[in-house]
Structure 1
Amino acid sequence: MKVIKKIFNVFFALFLLSINVEAQTTFFVSPKGNDTNQGTQARPFASISRAVDVARETPGKVVVYLKGGTYYLNHPIVFTSEDSPGKNVSLTIRNFKNQQVTVSGSVALHLKWTIYKNGIWQAKVEKKLIFDELFVNGQLQHMARYPNYNPAAHFFGGTSADAISKERVARWKSPAGGYVHALHPCEWGDVHYLITGKNDKGDLTLEGGWQNNRPMGMSKKYLFVENIFEELDTVNEWFYNKKTQILYYYPPKGLNLKTAKFETPQIAHLFEFRGSAANPVQNITVEGLTLTQTLRTFMENKEPLLRSDWTIYRGGAVFFEGAEKCSLENCTLHNLGGNAVFFSDFNRYCTVSGCLISDIGASAICFVGDPKAVRSPCFNYYQFVPLDKLDCTPGPKTNNYPAKCEVYDNLMFNLGQVEIQSAGVELSMCQSITVSHNTIYDVPRAGINVSEGTWGGHTIEYNDVFNTVEESGDHGSFNSWGRDRYWRADKRVLDSIVEKNFNLALLDVVKPITIQNNRMRCDHGWDIDLDDGSSNYIIRNNLCLNGGIKLREGVDRVVENNIMINNTFHPHVWFKNCNDIFMHNIVSMGYQPINVESWGKEVDYNVFPDSASLKAAQDRGIDKHSVCGRLEFVNPRAGDFRLKAGSIAFSVGFKNFAMDNFGVVSPRLKALAKKIPIPSVHVSEKMATDKIIDFMGAQVKNLNSLDERSATGMDSTRGVFVVKVTAGSVAAGFLQANDVILSFDNREINNLDDLSAARMSVIGTNTEVVLFRNQKKLKERVELKMK
């Protein structure tokens, strides 16, 4: 009997233990609570960090409910592997009964305002605080700046060429601590500088400019300054004097300074998941919260992302490093100074879903692995590892990178408010990331960006991406680079490498990247832009509404069954053996190739709008089975570009795909999302032929298109573009196809007339020419024949 009773007690204890493990424990937090409380609904904690500490010691599934209100953090909430509740249980931090819960990186200010002068008020700040941004009643105000903020301005909310002129600087008594923000000279992003003072000549002394991985200084035309006291001259501007701790503010008419809520951010991160591959943070979810007001990080944006145009600040309002099966769900992230969400190094099976992400200083969601996981890494555009020293093992060296994560059903807009070189989703040194059913718009550069091929496997599908490349150039709604370990800036060397060692181009992008069933529109570039060396892509069933599809040099790209409205296919400087396929696509005008001598594995069975465009393709030896004819869409005004029954497109294998499944899917986000502008379909017209002349045995023309600018890397549409060079000619001694002639005989060359005049005026048989080749200037001496 005692034995039976003992066995019963053991089984009962195990039963109770199993109940305890499976049971859910709940804790409550309220801004009105107290951290000495028990964390019950009646007696909640006051801080999230206290609840997390208690949850760490609690076995089984834990839910921390946050009651309505604002939680001001003076340091991030940090999760480590010790917070992981177990393999099959979870920790959730979420709002209680859908109450409005705000987690802020700011501190609330309690100020006593007095009149200063000229509409400006002043208040003493009692504590030493960081003043990087100022929010009044939840709305971001502007640091005192020149020129004044103008939401209709093309770049940065207003720029001026005289922003740092001597005349302007002479007005500033003590500009140290101010900032200069400028566009990259080629419009490839932005650069930022801290003003450290003035020199004895009255010029500013600056520190910075490292925010772009193609450093060329700053634009002389598109720049502005901020945090300058003398520029405080309009409503909604402010300035903080660090020495006197006085805040100056120019309030708008009608604002009650006594009741207005003033806040200033003090931290850059709100939630951090900090683990490692060996000890990951697991099974933690943050859900239903509003995350807001973090510090700007543009001066910390220093780390180069291999040979892409990007540098990065490795951080965000929500930061994941060493996480598994962790997620951010149904949150609102807005008014953040830097990146919203950042996945750094090792992360697996993590998700960002159902989130509204807007008014962000930098990027919405970034995945960036460890450069030490890359074989033979290079970081500068012109840097490379010699072939005899190249690590030729495919794939990564370690597992310290994000993989198998998902970005699903998120609405992202008004991004890159501070940093132009940003994106809705940025992918670098990661693998097999799924980006699905997101709506991304109103961004200064790409909606989705792939920085390099390492290590492929991404699926980018059912996204709605538009109003992109709004404050930059030479880019697309989707953009990629493929400057992997095989790549060189010198195209002739690169051609030779791919011709003799084709498989080197696939050492990093070991899995294909799939772009399918998306709707994209770029009014300032390409809808889909595969730049420098991008390889191993499958691009299918995409609706491109304005910019078409561009493929620069690369290998193994399959482009099939896409629709390009009011645009076409843009192949640029292809390899002879690129192995590309372009089939079953609909274009709205003839192809626009730049220096393409060989057309890949197969270009055929496509649909052109007219016989002239088709004939032009067939004259190049391609599109033997392609067709042309008027295309009847089901309802183009409503965005339904499926083809009606009987269309000639079906005869060459084109297949209709769904037109009602792009973008976010949750009703809440659908109701908030802006609608993509649907273009009117233009009837194809025969394009005017550019004038081409012979120049010393080279065929040259005016550089006058976005395609030519992109193919050469020019900063603007100027100069004379070299189309072809005849072997054995005088030009062959100093020119190559794809060169741009910028100067001849010390005369600036902007067009063919300039070049002809310069050539005719040369005295003697020797002169100098300035060229733009492989995206940099060089000088050549030219031996001329006597006239």
Structure 2
Amino acid sequence: MLKWIIACSLLLPLALQAQETLVYLSPTGNDANPGTMAKPKATLEGARETWRRSPGKATTVILRDGTYYLDAPFVLTTADNPQHQPFTIKAQPGEKPVISGARKLTANWQDAGNGIWKTAIPAGITEMDRLYVNGKLQISARYPNYDSSARFYHGTAADALSPARIKTWKHPETAIVHALHRAEWGGYHYKVTGVDAQGNAILEGGWQNNRQMGLHPDHRFVENVREELDAPHEWFFDASEHTLYFQPGNGKKPAANIAYAATTELIVLKGSMEQPLKNVTVRGITFTGNKRTFMLTKEPLLRSDWTIYRGGAVLVEGAENAAITNCLFDEVGGNAVFVNNYNRNVRIDSNHIYRPGASGIAFVGSPGAVRSPAFEYNLAVPFSEMDFTPGPKSEEFPKNCSASDNLIQFSGEIEKQSAGVQISISNAIHVAHNTIHNVPRAGINVSEGTFGGHLIERNDVYNTVLETGDHGAFNSWGRDRFWHANRRIMDSATMANINLTKLDILGTTILRENRFRCDHGWDIDLDDGSSYYDIYDNVCLNGGLKLREGFFRRVHHNLMINNTFHPHVWFANSNDVFTANVVTTDYKPIQVNVWGKKVDNNFFPDKASLEAAQQRGTDKNSYVLDLQFRDFKKGDYRLKPSSMPGKITYRDFPIDNFGTRIASYKKLAAPVPLPAILLSAASSKGDLLEWKGAKVKNIEGLGERSATGLPDEKGAYFVTVPENSDAWKAGLRTNDVLLKLDGQPVNSVKTFLSVYQPIAWRTNLKAVVFRNQREQEITLANK
């Protein structure tokens, strides 16, 4: 009996293998090969015929080391797996295969003078989007030149489209224009199609933003202009001459190994609601080399500020029980992963997404699933024509999908209306344990309430809203069926029938145990009617929390370091609750005459802040709390036993469970910019704080009064402002004393920061400084 058991156990792995089709690929393989490890095939298309001959078996396609250049997107459909067996495309363990959308060429470089080299390009190639030299992405010839330290677009200039500059271009019709939105709500992109009689560019494009207001007058740049090829790593392709020009960084003859982006999507998982593609996993693959998509971003996402391109390096549509896991998305041209329309139980986890041109991960449903949809902020379906049936119209949207343990860095490299994780027309999306940093707009964005029920937890989101403004590390809009740009119409409708507010809501969205930081807006920004949220146990490091309009939001047990609660424009019957939160400055209400269901039992930094709230009619039972954190500078915001209040209930905040749990990703992530000092606990004397690279303190004593020429000891004294620091760029200088900001007096460093924090998102701030023995009005370029 024992021998029989041993014999069966030895045969079991062979029996399992018989139920699975294995296909090996190698860039040096051949599609005529059988697809074994010894004789691998070369392409995914070649492998397709092998697994299609074995229907009903689990299939694993194993990619060996090397780069697989695609001539077209690889599309996997239900026909490839009709019986829904497990289907996996993965890397050979220990190896790092690359799928690229680039097309290889061999350059024959000739010296073109002035440090520029040129090579002939085959006549059949009529356009080139991105250039890789020896595998490294280069810079399209641009003005102004690429500046890694510049805040916007790596360098912008007001005269980028001036007639005087355009006059220097022999072929302006090659130019591409990138610019911020006039109000810094994302960006625009255009092609120049010609020049008018006044020498101004004729532009085609600008559809990339759903709140049309025109280009920013200053923050713009142009690329793809031959005459602007004047800096290392810049290139220009002259299609009329079939010639590529390139200026290498070292002045030496460039490598002959070049490639250009030729494909937009790389892998497409394509099913439908009627015939979903099931049980597919993509694991351990690097994706790179695909085309940019900024001129394809045209479709408005309901009434959010977004337009969208429904594509990505990996596009998932009509899938069930699919996973994109442990992959690297390396400088892909648009969205890294786009989960489109009907999808169920799709996991995007444990991926490293580095410098995607647009969003990292997007879950976006079909507007056809929405009843009475409208497609721009100022548009609304009249109530007399509205469909009042609750819930979605169809199932064409992502549901029960997830994004977890991803590291998303520097997303929105090209498209500024983007996010680390974007959610629109979706339900029950789980976003957990992601580290998201250095993004131009939100780290996590929810475009509208349709259809809610999301769980967003334990993410670490920081260095956000770096190139835009009026936004948040976490941002959401409402603008659902009930919402109207005319507040009086919306007020009367919701007062008459508050159930209008939940017509598009399938569940409450939960934000819990996240750490957020935004220096140009709010850490948590619920804007324009965002409703049905439960927000608790979050640590806000800098920007505080904002609630504008909206209904049935419960905000409790959150910590707001160096900032506070920003209620904006509330409804009389909002039913909002704000309790047991720690704020470290006074509330900053705007147009709030009624205070929801309950605003009480909160913790304030001082008596003055508490009394100010009580005078507005809130916080009758709130407290002043002495915040003695265990290790503030290291982000340990648990209270010391000595400061634990005896008569009230206080709950400590999480400190070590934010972001990705993958050790290698933690090492790659940028350090979290923790606050250096708790402003509400700052001493009135002796504190020398850092602000945007400058050292600032209170005016103390006759010596400092004499040195600055001040008549008293009021103001924030900028002791040193290093040249080229952010404070210098803002307009401050060594020995300036800031006396007023935004019309409000600044009596000390503490008051300066308490005035500054709520308006930190604004680009330009009016200020009064004492400089050279007299008061001067200046504008702080807050960038």
For this structure pair, what is the TM-score category when the shorter chain's length is used for normalisation?
0.7 to 0.9
> What residue is the counterpart of 1:78 in the other structure?
75
Residue 391 of structure 1 and its aligned partner are, at CA, apart by: 1.2
> What residue is the counterpart of 1:608 in the other structure?
604
Verify: 1:273 aligned to 2:269, yes or no. yes
Structure 1, residues 592-611: CA drift from partner, whole Å, max 9, x if none?
10011111001111100100
Kept in 1, the 8 Å contact 2:47–2:61? The answer is yes
> What residue is the counterpart of 1:700 in the other structure?
none
Give the whole-Å Cα distance in 2 for the aligned partners of 1:169 and 1:538. Answer: 53
Kept in 1, the 8 Å contact 2:436–2:462? The answer is yes
Residue 558 of structure 1 and its aligned partner are, at CA, apart by: 0.3
> What residue is the counterpart of 2:385 in the other structure?
389
Of 327, 330, 335, the residue aligned with 2:323 is 327
Give the whole-Å Cα distance in 1 for the aligned partners of 2:18 and 2:613. Answer: 67
Secondary structure in structure 2 of the residue aligned to 1:435: strand
> What residue is the counterpart of 2:201 in the other structure?
204
Kept in 1, the 8 Å contact 2:25–2:40? The answer is yes
Kept in 1, the 8 Å contact 2:100–2:288? The answer is yes
> What residue is the counterpart of 1:187 in the other structure?
184
Verify: 1:241 aligned to 2:238, yes or no. yes
> What residue is the counterpart of 1:497 in the other structure?
493
> What residue is the counterpart of 1:758 in the other structure?
none
> What residue is the counterpart of 1:285 in the other structure?
281
Give the whole-Å Cα distance in 1 for the aligned partners of 2:569 and 2:30. Answer: 66
Secondary structure in structure 1 of the residue aligned to 2:75: strand
> What residue is the counterpart of 1:27 in the other structure?
23
Residue 57 of structure 1 and its aligned partner are, at CA, apart by: 3.0
Give the whole-Å Cα distance in 2 for the aligned partners of 1:335 and 1:638. Answer: 32
Verify: 1:468 aligned to 2:478, yes or no. no
> What residue is the counterpart of 1:661 in the other structure?
657
Give the whole-Å Cα distance in 1 for the aligned partners of 2:590 and 2:150. Answer: 33
Verify: 1:408 aligned to 2:407, yes or no. no
> What residue is the counterpart of 2:345 in the other structure?
349
> What residue is the counterpart of 1:359 in the other structure?
355
Residue 681 of structure 1 and its aligned partner are, at CA, apart by: 2.9
Q: Partner letter of residue 472 of structure 1?
A: T
Structure 1, residues 631-660: CA drift from partner, whole Å, max 9, x if none?
111211211111223545674433123211
Kept in 2, the 8 Å contact 1:477–1:529? The answer is yes
Give the whole-Å Cα distance in 1 for the aligned partners of 2:103 and 2:679. Answer: 57
> CA 1:691/1:268 → structure 2, altered by over 3 Å: closer, same or farther?
closer
Q: Partner letter of residue 223 of structure 1?
A: R
> CA 1:255/1:521 → structure 2, altered by over 3 Å: closer, same or farther?
farther
Give the whole-Å Cα distance in 2 for the aligned partners of 1:419 and 1:438. Answer: 21
> CA 1:576/1:648 → structure 2, altered by over 3 Å: closer, same or farther?
farther
Structure 1, residues 95-152: CA drift from partner, whole Å, max 9, x if none?
1122120110001110100011211111001253330111123322111111111011
> What residue is the counterpart of 1:115 in the other structure?
111
Of 508, 522, 527, the residue aligned with 1:526 is 522
Deviation larger for 292-301 or 123-132: 123-132
> What residue is the counterpart of 1:138 in the other structure?
135
Q: Partner letter of residue 208 of structure 1?
A: G
Deviation larger for 475-484 or 174-183: 174-183
> CA 1:610/1:133 → structure 2, altered by over 3 Å: closer, same or farther?
same
Verify: 1:215 aligned to 2:212, yes or no. yes
Residue 255 of structure 1 and its aligned partner are, at CA, apart by: 5.0
Structure 1, residues 340-375: CA drift from partner, whole Å, max 9, x if none?
100110000010111000111100001111001101
Could you say what the CA RMSD is over the residues aligned between the two structures, in angstroms? 2.3
Give the whole-Å Cα distance in 1 for the aligned partners of 2:764 and 2:632. Answer: 34
> CA 1:579/1:709 → structure 2, altered by over 3 Å: closer, same or farther?
farther
Give the whole-Å Cα distance in 1 for the aligned partners of 2:484 and 2:188. Answer: 25
> What residue is the counterpart of 1:623 in the other structure?
619
Unaligned runs of 5+ in 2: 1-10, 685-714, 716-739, 745-754, 768-776, 778-783
> What residue is the counterpart of 1:583 in the other structure?
579
TM normalised by structure 1 equals: 0.84
Give the whole-Å Cα distance in 2 for the aligned partners of 1:200 and 1:415. Answer: 39
Structure 1, residues 602-637: CA drift from partner, whole Å, max 9, x if none?
111110010000111111111111100311112112
Of 281, 303, 309, the residue aligned with 1:307 is 303
1:510-659 equivalence runs, <5 A: 510-645=506-641, 647-648=643-644, 651-659=647-655
Give the whole-Å Cα distance in 1 for the aligned partners of 2:764 and 2:389. Answer: 40
Structure 1, residues 515-550: CA drift from partner, whole Å, max 9, x if none?
000011111110000000000000000011000100
Of 447, 454, 458, the residue aligned with 1:458 is 454
1:436-447 equivalence runs, <5 A: 436-447=432-443
Unaligned runs of 5+ in 1: 1-14, 693-703, 720-751, 753-787
> What residue is the counterpart of 1:232 in the other structure?
229
> What residue is the counterpart of 1:340 in the other structure?
336
Residue 709 of structure 1 and its aligned partner are, at CA, apart by: 10
Verify: 1:433 aligned to 2:429, yes or no. yes
Give the whole-Å Cα distance in 2 for the aligned partners of 1:583 and 1:290. Answer: 46
Verify: 1:173 aligned to 2:164, yes or no. no
> CA 1:43/1:691 → structure 2, altered by over 3 Å: closer, same or farther?
closer
> What residue is the counterpart of 2:394 in the other structure?
398
Q: Partner letter of residue 154 of structure 2?
A: G
Give the whole-Å Cα distance in 2 for the aligned partners of 1:494 and 1:483. Answer: 11
Give the whole-Å Cα distance in 2 for the aligned partners of 1:499 and 1:572. Answer: 18
Secondary structure in structure 1 of the residue aligned to 2:172: coil
Kept in 2, the 8 Å contact 1:185–1:715? The answer is no
Deviation larger for 206-215 or 635-644: 635-644
Give the whole-Å Cα distance in 1 for the aligned partners of 2:615 and 2:346. Answer: 51
Secondary structure in structure 2 of the residue aligned to 1:220: strand
Secondary structure in structure 1 of the residue aligned to 2:174: coil
Q: Partner letter of residue 549 of structure 1?
A: L
Residue 19 of structure 1 and its aligned partner are, at CA, apart by: 5.2
Q: Partner letter of residue 453 of structure 1?
A: G
Kept in 1, the 8 Å contact 2:192–2:201? The answer is yes
Kept in 2, the 8 Å contact 1:605–1:653? The answer is no
Secondary structure in structure 1 of the residue aligned to 2:50: helix
Secondary structure in structure 1 of the residue aligned to 2:589: coil
> CA 1:627/1:709 → structure 2, altered by over 3 Å: closer, same or farther?
closer
Give the whole-Å Cα distance in 2 for the aligned partners of 1:34 and 1:338. Answer: 31
Structure 1, residues 320-346: CA drift from partner, whole Å, max 9, x if none?
110111111100001111111001100
> What residue is the counterpart of 2:146 in the other structure?
149
Q: How many equivalent residue pairs?
A: 689
Secondary structure in structure 1 of the residue aligned to 2:338: strand
> CA 1:340/1:650 → structure 2, altered by over 3 Å: closer, same or farther?
farther
Deviation larger for 565-574 or 495-504: 495-504
Structure 1, residues 561-590: CA drift from partner, whole Å, max 9, x if none?
000111110000111110000011111011
> CA 1:486/1:649 → structure 2, altered by over 3 Å: closer, same or farther?
farther
Give the whole-Å Cα distance in 2 for the aligned partners of 1:158 and 1:343. Answer: 32
Give the whole-Å Cα distance in 2 for the aligned partners of 1:709 and 1:41. Answer: 58
Secondary structure in structure 1 of the residue aligned to 2:665: helix
Kept in 2, the 8 Å contact 1:61–1:85? The answer is no
Q: Partner letter of residue 474 of structure 1?
A: D
Kept in 2, the 8 Å contact 1:98–1:288? The answer is no
Kept in 1, the 8 Å contact 2:102–2:289? The answer is yes
Residue 691 of structure 1 and its aligned partner are, at CA, apart by: 6.9
Structure 1, residues 446-475: CA drift from partner, whole Å, max 9, x if none?
000000000001000000000000000000
Secondary structure in structure 2 of the residue aligned to 1:225: strand
